[in-house]
Chains A and B, each alone.
Chain A
């Protein structure tokens, strides 16, 4: 019999005034084991626990979509209207129709960037304010699984908005896609997402260091990033600034690669690396961001423990 089962009838357990033996809060666990021995988990158990943490963190984001219907209006309809405004600017300027397609694709992908900024980068800072962060650190799991769960939940949330904007805007504005390399397009999309959410995981760690600056800096990462990433125009038109964005911002390089693949042979997209090269840049970004996120999480956790700032709120 395991220690946990025997604990329920342990004669040494205190007896309550009513005569019944008090139930262990560790029911299902060995109450008498040394915690260090107890924590000597098998690799399988570690994996299963981290997987549970990942699913548990992704769950509220995915399930929450059904519980708060207002997001349909604010996350799908209104962003579609915003995208429409940019389309109409090009129409008012009598721009080539290809630019309408650029805007629609940029509008769809912007959902992922917003999600990374608001629901990845700011999230641990937010959890700190809400009092959940210390629970995360105290739980027997790797914090990276929490970050990954956040990323997967956020990805699902943003995908609905991105797909809705893409489909509706394409139909309304008659965008003609010309995809010649579907496989590469799929690979580039996945790499863009891994690089973007890798960046989000890294920023989430970094934002733990900050207080209210984190919130304001997240706010600052919207229009400026959209501008240098060429949200509504080919990023190559920005010259050196665009090249710098392609080298450092996954949103910029992913958007440009997808534009090249979705609107094949568009002369206005010339001047940036080929999609295959940009895919390699995204691979490198993913590796760097995830590795940095892992390193920063450990380092910043150690620093924050030293400074006693993990549970400081509302500053």
Chain B
């Protein structure tokens, strides 16, 4: 029986009683999550007609992709085919990452500052964290559409060569699935930051994602970084997520983690991490990131309640 029904059947209690929330079962959590994801998707998509939504969804990732492709083209002409493929894949994946990171953070800001609904969501029986994760997942889904279209564009227009017969499908699926929780967790972490800050925080997810370009091997191998920064990259689940997808799609392509002069090769002695290592590393770093993000979010939530930040609106 759901906690809502239990609370409703129990004379003298209301469905909004804290005890009902405390006893919320998996079914209630799942229902709240589904509702939040659906709401998030509608917020993302129903502001315009499908054609404009499609253009909006793909324009940013394709422009981002072209920014790098032109950089490579100008400097190296057609000689850097391997690097070009490396950068195109990383850049296309970035669309999903930015969307996933921005989702929960923007949900906090939209619901608090624009729609003024955050306080009502907060006092609803559903867990606030579950609602944010649902909203974040909807945005991640929109970002994933951008990634797919950017890849199709790269294959059709930019001549990206992918041998579908050689794609490591199990590794691809495992990596994609294991990458979702840490991406959303980082978004929740930024949501925790946005709970404390004012409305200018709209640009924070983009700024944060941009800075991760540096340490996750998206557009260049980590080996070019100083060793301490490279270690930060190796501890980042996004690094393994991008490396895993690359390894699955281009098994013989260049790696972002190992290679000559890299910390990885110096420590492990292997030139390239194999598929099992990538999955394991993604799982471990992803789990640690998710736990840390949850703890930070809980602390931020407590502070926001203490200071009355949940219904604050700001301007500048």
Contacts and interface: CB of A to CB of B under 8 A. Distances in A.
Contacts, number: 135
Nearest to B113: A130
Nearest to A92: B220
B54 interface: no
Interface in A58-105: 60-61, 64, 68, 70-71, 74-75, 77-79, 81-82, 84-86, 88-96, 99
Nearest to B221: A92
B315 A130 contact: yes
Nearest to B55: A220
A314 interface: yes
A99 B74 CA distance: 10
B83 A93 contact: yes
Nearest to A87: B214
Contacts of B66: 227
Interface string B56-82: 100111011011101110111000100
Contacts of A114: 203
Interface in A299-315: 314
A237 interface: yes
B63 A78 contact: no
Contact of B316 (A60, A226, A231): A60
7 contacts: A60-B315, A77-B211, A78-B210, A85-B214, A89-B87, A92-B221, A118-B202
A132 interface: yes
Contacts of B61: 223
A167 B26 CA distance: 53
Given A223-B60, A227-B63, 12 more contacts: A70-B204, A74-B203, A75-B207, A78-B208, A78-B210, A93-B76, A211-B47, A222-B206, A223-B64, A227-B66, A233-B70, A238-B70
Contacts of A222: 60, 206
A96 B74 CA distance: 11
A71 B316 CA distance: 13
A64 B221 CA distance: 39
Interface in A201-243: 211-213, 215-217, 219-220, 222-224, 226-227, 231-234, 237-238
Contacts of A215: 47
Given A75-B203, A211-B47, A213-B47, A223 B67 contact: yes
A237 B68 CA distance: 13
A149 to B, nearest CB: 12
B288 to A, nearest CB: 22
A212 B72 CA distance: 36
A224 B203 contact: no
B74 A81 contact: no
Given A79-B207, A79-B210, A95-B75, A89 B68 contact: yes
Contacts of B201: 70, 74
A55 B193 CA distance: 30
A129 interface: yes
Given A93-B76, A233-B70, A216 B63 contact: no
B251 to A, nearest CB: 22
